[in-house]
Amino acid sequence: MKTNGYNYIKKLQIEIIAIVLFFSLIPLFALGSFLYFQFTQTYTQKVTNNLRTIVDNKKKALDMFFEERVSQLKTIAYTHSYKELSDEDYIRSLLSAVQSSSNSLIDLGIINSDGEQVAYTGHYNLKGVNYKNELWFHEVMFKEVYISDVFMGFRRFPHFIIAVMRKEEGSFWILRATIDSNIFNLLVQSVQIAEKGDAYLLNSENILQTPSRFGKQVMEPSDFPKTPLFTGTTVRENFSEQNRMIVGMSWLEKKNWLLVVSEDPTEAMTPLFRTRTMVILLIALGVMLIVTGAYIVSRSIIRELIRSERQKAALDANLVQSSKMAALGKLAAGVAHELNNPLALIKESAGWLKDLLEEEEPDKIANFKEIEKTVNKIDLHVERAKSVTHRMLGFGRRFEPVSEDTDLNKVAEQTLSFLENEALHRNIAIEKDYLENLPSVKSDSAQIQQVILNITDNAIDAVGKNGTVRMKTGYDPKKEEVFLEISDTGPGIPKEDLDKIFDPFYTTKTSGEGTGLGLSVSYSIIEKLGGRILVDSTRGKGSVFTVCLPVRSEK
């Protein structure tokens, strides 16, 4: 009943690994992807909100800028008369006073109701220029405050103006100032955006009012889609095909210009990508750990299983041997018992014959010598037959083993004393290797002696002449067993015969020399004592018989 290659165990191992992997990897992946998506969402939201805040703040700053300039001009207009301001020297000193606190105004001009610039101070010689036909002139008349788009005007460079109107004595006049584009551009672009980010203003016609950091110059039409007026701040993603951008925009309140701030999402999302790589690495590590763990766990389970499987197989083999012995033992005992009576009768009759012969005179009987010899032969062979039946009875008998402190070293030594003469005679060396302080066992020393005798007898028989028989005792603390190893340098036992040597009546010796009962009797004795007999044999090198006995007897 040998199981060659525990195939089903391999399958079981794969099953265990599969189940462990299934139940641990699914939650791991679920958790990993949940965390990742949650993080992506939160992070995108954070980036969007961040941009929204930047746009909001910038819009407020720009509105504030306009409001401050307008109120500055209004203050000048309403605290001075037309006459005072028409004096060029006066407005020159006024401009330098204003510039000392903020240099965003680069010139000042006073324009009368006919559109003529009556006084001017600044870099350009614009005195006497007439603005009557300019669009802004009409608009400032209408609205009282006016902020222009960026234009070239008479100066031939992009600028924009702020103008306020004051009514005085039935007429009106206009105070007009030019805003330094550079300072204004810097104000727009000083937002905290990464390398590829951009910030600019567009008017309602989609014309750039401040330069874009990449490509387009001021006053050029922008590629940015035309956006209708709305309130508040919007953040959108992906406008053009080539470069993905997140864009925040907001219309200014003081002037209908659209503030556009864009950011490269890959730049903004770098920490996100780093996190993603980290998550993937961690999951990979987790998978590796789980796979290794599953393998180790399954391997130790499988090992345990194989071990118990082997034990079971050994037990099964023992059981088969025991039942075989039990059945044959009974038979043998029965036969021996039946044979004993006739043998006793034959022996008695032979004895009677001998007695009768002694009373006769040998000369008177023709074949006296022959008859005497035959009677002796009968006696001898009956004696031999009786020794066989005696052993058979011993084998079948259910002896009750005694339990006494037994020193295996001592028993082995005693047994050897019976055999030493024989060994010497055959030039067989007997080596002894006894373990000192061998734990004693509670067992039946007479029975053990019988077993050692049988096995050593066989060893000497196997060696024949000129060889070695070795006795070794030892202790196995793991199994809590003492053992006696009897090895010989005989011819060994063929593998196919190893199963048979414990069978009753199995012998390779000629009839008269061996009964084939030695080992089977030994087997049943050791079994009853709770121990085991193991054989190991190599053809041509010899055999090793090991008798193991438990230190603590179960019963």
Ligand X SMILES: Nc1ncnc2c1ncn2[C@@H]1O[C@H](COP(=O)(O)OP(=O)(O)OP(=O)(O)O)[C@@H](O)[C@H]1O
- Cβ distance to ligand X smaller for residue 419 or 517: 517
Query: What count of residues does the chain have?
Result: 555
For residue 185, what are its two tokens?
């551009």
Q: Which of 171, 176, 128, 181 is nearest to 150 (CA)?
A: 181
Residue 109: beta bridge partners?
120, 176
Cα dihedral 183, 188, 191, 196 sign? negative
- Contact range with ligand X by CB under 6 A, out of 44-52, 165-173, 251-259, 455-463: 455-463
Q: Which of 293, 401, 474, 514 binds ligand X (CB under 6 A)?
A: 514
Q: Which of 104, 189, 445, 454 binds ligand X (CB under 6 A)?
A: 454
Q: Is 504 in the site for Mg ion (CB under 5 A)?
A: no
Q: Is 167 in the site for ligand X (CB under 6 A)?
A: no
Q: Which of 488, 524, 529, 547 binds ligand X (CB under 6 A)?
A: 488
- Cβ distance to ligand X smaller for residue 267 or 497: 497
Q: Is 179 in the site for ligand X (CB under 6 A)?
A: no
- Pairing mode, strands 233-237 and 198-202: unpaired
Which listed option, Mg ion, ligand X, none, makes contact with residue 468 (CB within 5 to 8 Å by class)?
none
- Contact range with ligand X by CB under 6 A, out of 190-198, 246-254, 267-275, 507-515: 507-515
519 backbone dihedrals φ, ψ, rounded to 5°? -70, -35
- 179-186 long-range CB contacts below 8 Å, 24 or more apart? 179/69, 179/104, 179/105, 179/106, 180/103, 180/104, 180/105, 180/106, 181/150, 181/157, 181/210, 181/218, 183/103, 183/104, 184/65, 184/104, 184/160, 184/210, 185/210, 185/211, 185/218
For residue 324, what are its two tokens?
């075989």
- Contact range with ligand X by CB under 6 A, out of 21-29, 140-148, 408-416, 510-518: 510-518
Which amino acid is present at 161? I
Q: Is 309 exposed, middle or buried (0-12, 13-18, 19+ CB in 10 A)?
A: middle
Beta carbons within 10 angstroms of residue 173's beta carbon: 19
Q: Which of 491, 415, 484, 490 is nearest to 454 (CA)?
A: 415
Q: Which of 258, 462, 484, 529 binds ligand X (CB under 6 A)?
A: 462
Q: Is 458 in the site for Mg ion (CB under 5 A)?
A: yes
Q: Is 522 in the site for Mg ion (CB under 5 A)?
A: no
- Contact range with ligand X by CB under 6 A, out of 2-10, 258-266, 416-424, 499-507: 499-507
Q: Is 544 in the site for ligand X (CB under 6 A)?
A: no
State the nearest-atom distance from the C-beta of 341 to ligand X, in Å. 23
Q: Closest-CB residue for Mg ion?
A: 518
- Contact range with Mg ion by CB under 5 A, out of 191-199, 205-213, 238-246, 512-520: 512-520
Summarize as ranges the residues that interact with Mg ion (CB under 5 A). Answer: 458, 518
Binding site for ligand X (CB under 6 A): 454, 458-459, 462, 488, 490, 493, 501, 506-509, 514-520, 543
